[in-house]
Structure 1
Amino acid sequence: MRQFKSFVKKEFLQIFRDRRTLLILLAMPLVLVMALGYAIKTELNNARMAVFDASKDARTLRIKEAFRASKWFTIVEEAPTMARIDELFSRGEISMALVFGPDFAATMGKPAGETAIQVIADGTDPNQAAMLTAYAQGVMATATGAGGGIGIHTRMLYNPQQKSSYNFVPGVMGLVLMLICAMMTSVAIVREKETGTMEVLLASPMKPLHIILSKMAPYFTLSVVNIVTVLLLAVFVMGVPIRGSIAWLSVASVLFIVVALALGLLISTLVDRQMSALLVSGIGLMMPTLVFSGLIFPIENMPAALRWISDIIPARWYISAVRKIMIEGTGPESFAKELCIIALMAVVLMAAAMKKFKVRLC
Structure 2
Amino acid sequence: MKQFIAFVRKEFFHVLRDRRTLLILFGMPIAQILIFGFALTNEVKDSEILVVDYAKDDASQQIITEIAASRYFNIRNAALTHKEMLSTFQKGKIKAVIVFPASFNRYLLHNNQAQIQVITDATDINTANMITNYLTAIIKDYQAKINENLLVPYQIIPETRMLYNPQLKGAHGFVPGVMALVLMLVSVMMTAISIVREKEMGTMEILLVSPFKPVLVIFAKAFPYLILSLINVTAILFLSVFALDLPVKGSLLLLFLESTLFIITCLALGIFISIKTDSQQIAMLISLMGMLLPTMMFSGFLFPIENMPVPLQVISNIIPSKWFYIIVKSIMIKGLGIGSLWKETLILAGMTLFLLTVSLKSFKIRLQ
TM > 0.5 between the two?
Answer: yes
Say if 1:52 and 1:85, in contact at 8 Å, map to a contact too: no
Tell me, which stretches of 5 or more residues in structure 2 are unaligned?
A: 1-11, 148-153
After TM superposition, list the pairs within 5 Å mapping 1:84-95 onto structure 2: 84-95=84-95
* 1:6 equivalent in structure 2: none
Equivalent-residue separation in structure 1 for 2:232 and 2:190 (angstroms): 14
Query: Is 22-31 or 195-204 further displaced after alignment?
Result: 22-31
Q: 2:156 aligns with which of 147, 150, 161?
A: 150
Query: In the alignment, what sits opposite 1:126?
Result: 125
**Residue 244 of structure 2: aligned partner:** 238
How many residues get paired? 349
| Residue in structure 2 matched with residue 5 of structure 1 by the alignment | none
Instruction: Supply the distance in 2 between the matched residues of 1:121 and 1:309 (Cα, whole angstroms).
Output: 27
2:6 — aligned with what? none
- Distance 1:21-1:268 versus aligned 2 partners, 3 A rule: farther
| Change beyond 3 A, Cα 1:116–1:149 | closer
Given that 2:191 and 2:225 are in contact with CA atoms closer than 8 Å, whether structure 1 keeps it comes out as: yes
Change (3 A) 1:24 1:246: farther
User: Could you list the per-position Cα deviations for residues 86-122 of structure 1 after superposition, in whole angstroms to 9, with x for gaps in the alignment?
Assistant: 11101111010001111322443999xx843200000
Cα contact 2:122–2:164 (8 A) shared by 1:
yes
| Per-residue deviation, 1:42 | 2.3
Structure 1, unaligned stretches of length 5 or more? 1-11
2:283 and 2:230 mapped to 1: Cα distance?
A: 23
The whole-number CA distance in structure 2 between the counterparts of 1:183 and 1:41 is 28
Identity rate of aligned residues, in percent?
Answer: 44
Equivalent of 1:175, from 168, 174, 181?
Answer: 181
In structure 2, the residue corresponding to 1:76 is in which secondary structure? strand
Residue aligning to 1:47 = 47
Task: Provide the residue aligned with 2:104 in structure 1.
Answer: 104
Q: CA deviation at 1:16?
A: 11
Shift of residue 20, structure 1, vs aligned partner = 6.9
Q: Displacement, 1:29?
A: 4.3
Maintained 8 Å contact 2:53/2:99: yes
1:150 is paired with a residue of what secondary structure?
strand
After TM superposition, give the deviation of residue 333 of structure 1 in Å. 2.6
* 1:109–1:253 distance in 2 versus 1, CA, 3 Å: farther
Q: 1:125 to 1:103 in 2, by over 3 A?
A: same
Q: Which residue of 1 aligns with 2:330?
A: 324
Q: What is the SS of the residue equivalent to 1:121?
A: strand
Q: Is the 8 A contact 1:21 1:276 kept in 2?
A: no
- Is 1:116 aligned to residue 115 of structure 2? yes
Task: Tell me the secondary structure at the aligned position of residue 51 of structure 2.
Answer: strand
1:25/1:219 Cα in 2 relative to 1: closer, same or farther (>3 Å)? farther
In structure 2, how many angstroms separate the alpha carbons of the residues matched to 1:269 and 1:21?
Answer: 23
Deviations 1:118-167 (A, max 9, x none): 00000111111110100011222233434773111100000000011100
Partner of 1:279: 285
Match of 1:7 in 2: none
**Does structure 1 retain, via aligned residues, the 8 Å contact 2:183–2:263?**
yes
Equivalents in 2 of 1:342, 1:308: separation in Å? 16
Q: Is the 8 A contact 1:52 1:81 kept in 2?
A: no
- Cα distance in 2 between the residues matched to 1:180 and 1:22: 30
Other-structure match for 2:209: 203
- CA-CA distance at 1:23 after TM superposition: 5.5
Q: Would you say the 8 A contact 1:170–1:319 is kept in 2?
A: yes
TM-score with structure 1 length normalisation? 0.90
**Secondary structure, aligned partner of 1:151:** strand
Which residue of the partner structure matches residue 268 of structure 1? 274
Q: Please give the alpha-carbon distance, in whole angstroms, between the structure 2 residues aligned to 1:310 and 1:89.
A: 22
Cα distance between partner residues in 1 of 2:197 and 2:18 = 16
Partner SS state of residue 117, structure 1: strand
Alpha carbons 1:53, 1:101 under 8 Å: kept: yes
Verify the 8 A CA contact 1:133 1:154 in the aligned structure 2: yes
User: 2:180–2:321: 8 Å Cα contact kept in structure 1?
Assistant: yes
Residues 329 and 17 (structure 1 numbering): CA distance in 2 closer, same or farther, change over 3 Å?
farther
SS of equivalent to 1:52: strand
Partner of 1:333: 339
Query: Which deviates the most, 190-199 or 100-109?
Result: 100-109
Question: Take 1:351 and 1:71, find their aligned partners in 2: how far apart are those partners?
Answer: 44
CA contact (8 A) 1:50 1:79 kept: no
Q: How far apart are the structure 1 equivalents of 2:336 and 2:110?
A: 35
